[in-house]
């Protein structure tokens, strides 16, 4: 009997499991524009409610991988290992991490898409470096993995094309928040990328996709299983995202902060997470190195400079700076009790650092810098945050977004560990 989309939707709507054939038929048909958006949306909503069995999820992810090419990195003379973060405010970790792991001896093939959301993605941050290009010709890609050993670049249209269509539809149909749909979306792209090992940074808290830690743990375990089943050594760290990472959110601002980390300084939380992820990446890749010592030695900075140059960038060029900077001061004396990542991310986005539609340009200079972190003492009149923008008409909306973002009280908040668990 031939498969019909109505049968597929009904099966899932009524709580049944889809057959492998139905799943492959749907993914192939939707990628080829042979299934209508409204029908695909109905199926996605049924999946949000009903979930997927392990077998369904493996087949679904496999079909998404098979919708495009799977890269072959077997010719790279170093073990390959990549990192994926589920995303958070001020998350610039890929910038110091990729050259650090390359300097430790592994190769880092980081293919990225352009995300939506609070701040730009890694490619947007890198593009604030004068001359740097996210486009790398396929024949150069393997050479760059050999030397300098890390490539951050745009994924081609032929990498998991099913995900591109499905993600765009999920984004406009309130069907993003589903563990099987998120796990298959992320893992299909990472498995297709051809990496031998993968470390996931799965965030939870107010500034993350998953607010609750147990949901983040479930997502992490689901992704680790998918990776391992596809022959990719995979492990995840669960990390807190209530407070934004580092001291800045915004593209050029975050590049500047990453340079501080590569120079041996930078905010303690960015250094801690960079080193923790690098240690796990080296472990999975089978590379015997001490990332903390490599960072201190300056070797990661040397690799960064070669990475930037190899993609047309000038590592010595000044980064763009916002022409308009407004400050907000503390309204009372006391201790900063909270700095909410979601509010800060929203403010950075309103200043122009992120996009709400895929085709929108992001501003390199827009963003937020915060001068105090929870637990710090503040005096009335101290500058708490700076708002950076190229377009001053955006300032009032960003100020509004920060309404209620912090509290000044008399007691320091309880410290939450940044890295709170490992899965895999």
> Beta partners for 111?
153
423: enclosing H helix or E strand: strand 419-423
Give the count of beta carbons closer than 10 Å to the beta carbon of residue 402.
21
CB of 112 to ligand URA, least distance (A): 10
Stretch that binds ligand URA, among 39-47, 119-127, 181-189, 199-207 (CB under 6 A): 181-189
- Active-site residue flag, 163: yes
Number of H helices, E strands in the chain: 16, 13
150 and 102 in contact (C-beta within 8 Å)? yes
Name which position in 18, 46, 182, 398 contacts ligand URA (CB under 6 A).
182
- The reply on whether position 45 binds ligand URA by CB under 6 A is no
Residues in the chain: 424
**Interaction of residue 344 with ligand URA, rule CB under 6 A:** no
Smallest distance, Å, CB 114 to ligand URA?
A: 11
Q: Can you tell me the distance from the alpha carbon of 299 to that of 163, in angstroms, rounded to the nearest whole number? A: 36
User: Residue 187 in contact with residue 226, Cβ under 8 Å?
Assistant: yes
Closest to ligand URA by CB, 69 vs 176, is 176
Is 211 among the residues that bind ligand URA (CB under 6 A)? Answer: no
> Using CB atoms, what's the residue nearest to ligand URA?
185
Nearest to 364 by CA among 257, 253, 247, 256: 253
In the region spanning residues 47 to 66, those forming contacts with ligand URA, defined by CB under 6 A, are: none
Q: Single out the residue of 345, 331, 326, 334 nearest to residue 387, CA to CA.
A: 326
Residue closer to ligand URA by CB (options 167, 406) is 167
Identify whether 185 is a catalytic site residue.
yes
Count of positions on this chain that bind ligand URA (CB under 6 A): 6
Rounded to a whole number, what is the distance in angstroms from the first to the last CA of the chain? Answer: 41
At closest approach, how far in Å is the CB of 357 from ligand URA? 17
Would you list the DSSP string of 168-231?
Answer: HHHHTTT----HHHHHHHHHHHHHHTT-SEEEEEEEESTTSSB-SHHHHHHHHHHHHHHHHHTT
Q: Which position among 50, 92, 170, 190 bears the catalytic label?
A: 170
Active site residue 33: no
| 56 versus 279: smaller Cβ distance to ligand URA | 56
Q: Which of 119, 185, 311, 363 binds ligand URA (CB under 6 A)?
A: 185
Radius of gyration of the chain (CA): 22
Q: Pattern 109-148, binding to ligand URA, x per CB under 6 A?
A: ----------------------------------------
Tell me if 246 sits within 8 A of 90, measured CB to CB.
yes
Catalytic residue among 58, 84, 118, 203: 84
Q: Pick the piece of the chain touching ligand URA (CB under 6 A) from 35-43, 51-59, 176-184, 240-248.
A: 176-184
Distance CA 125, CA 363 (A): 10
SS3 content of the chain, % helix, strand, coil (to 5): 45, 15, 40
Q: Shortest approach of ligand URA to residue 73 CB, angstroms?
A: 20
Strands laid side by side in the 406-409 sheet: 377-378, 334-339, 406-409
Closer to ligand URA by CB, 190 or 350: give it.
190
Phi, psi of 168 (to 5 degrees): -60, -40
- Residue 167 touches ligand URA, criterion: CB under 6 A: yes
Q: Which is nearer to ligand URA, 168 or 268 (CB)?
A: 168
Compare residues 152 and 259 and give the one whose CB is closer to ligand URA: 152
User: To the nearest whole angstrom, how small is the minimum distance from the Cβ of residue 347 to ligand URA?
Assistant: 22
We find the least distance from the C-beta atom of residue 421 to ligand URA, in angstroms, to be 20
Q: What whole-number distance in Å separates Cα of residue 371 and Cα of residue 386?
A: 8
Under 8 Å between Cβ of 218 and 182: no
Stretch that binds ligand URA, among 7-15, 70-78, 177-185, 243-251 (CB under 6 A): 177-185
Nearer to ligand URA, 25 or 167 (CB): 167
Q: For 102, what's the count of Cα atoms within 13 Å in the CB-facing half-sphere?
A: 31
Given 17, 142, 154, 176, the residue binding ligand URA (CB under 6 A):
176
* 186 interacts with ligand URA by CB under 6 A: yes
Strand ranges, E, within 307-389:
324-329, 334-339, 367-370, 377-378, 383-389
| 84 annotated active-site | yes
Does 300 bind ligand URA (CB under 6 A)? Our answer is no
For ligand URA, give the closer residue by CB, 134 or 335.
134
Which residues here bind ligand URA, judged by CB under 6 A?
A: 167, 176, 181-182, 185-186
Catalytic residues: 84, 163, 170, 185, 189
């Amino acid at each position: 009997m031939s498969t019909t989309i109505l049968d597929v939707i009904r099966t899932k709507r009524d709580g049944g499991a889809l057959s492998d054939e139905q799943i492959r038929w749907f993914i192939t048909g939707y990628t080829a524009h042979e299934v209508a958006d409204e029908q695909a949306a109905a199926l996605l909503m049924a999946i949000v409610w009903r979930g997927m069995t392990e077998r369904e999820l493996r087949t679904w992810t496999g079909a998404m991988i098979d919708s495009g090419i799977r890269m072959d990195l077997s010719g790279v003379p170093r073990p390959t290992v990549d990192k994926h973060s589920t995303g958070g405010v001020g998350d610039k970790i890929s910038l110091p991490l990729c050259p650090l792991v390359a300097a430790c001896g592994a190769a880092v093939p980081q293919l990225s898409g352009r995300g939506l959301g609070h701040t730009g993605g890694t490619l947007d941050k890198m593009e604030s470096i004068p001359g740097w290009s996210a486009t790398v010709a396929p024949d150069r890609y393997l050479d760059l993995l050999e030397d300098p050993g890390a490539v951050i670049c745009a994924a081609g249209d032929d990498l998991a094309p099913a995900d591109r269509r499905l993600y765009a539809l999920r984004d406009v149909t309130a069907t993003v928040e589903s563990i099987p749909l998120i796990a298959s979306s992320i893992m299909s792209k990472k498995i297709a990328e051809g990496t031998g090992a993968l470390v996931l940074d799965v965030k939870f808290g107010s500034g993350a996709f998953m607010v609750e830690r147990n949901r983040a743990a479930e997502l992490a375990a689901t992704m680790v299983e998918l990776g391992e089943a596809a022959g990719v050594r995979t492990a995840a760290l669960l990390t807190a995202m209530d407070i934004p990472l580092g001291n800045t959110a915004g593209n050029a601002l975050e590049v500047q902060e990453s340079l501080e980390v590569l120079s041996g300084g930078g905010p303690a939380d960015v250094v801690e997470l960079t080193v923790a992820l690098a240690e796990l990446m080296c472990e999975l890749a089978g590379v015997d190195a001490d990332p903390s010592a490599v960072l201190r030695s300056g070797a990661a900075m040397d690799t960064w400079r070669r990475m930037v140059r190899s993609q047309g960038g000038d590592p010595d060029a000044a980064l763009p700076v916002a022409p308009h900077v407004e400050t907000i001061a503390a309204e009372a004396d006391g201790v900063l009790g909270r700095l909410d990542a979601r509010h800060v991310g929203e403010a950075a986005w309103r200043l122009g650092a992120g996009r709400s539609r895929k085709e929108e340009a992001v501003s390199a200079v827009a963003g937020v810098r915060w001068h105090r972190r929870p637990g710090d003492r503040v005096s009335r009149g101290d500058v708490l945050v700076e708002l950076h923008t190229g377009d001053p008409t955006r300032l009032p909306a960003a100020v509004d977004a920060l309404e209620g973002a912090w509290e000044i009280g008399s007691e320091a908040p309880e410290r939450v560990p940044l890295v709170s668990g490992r899965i895999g």
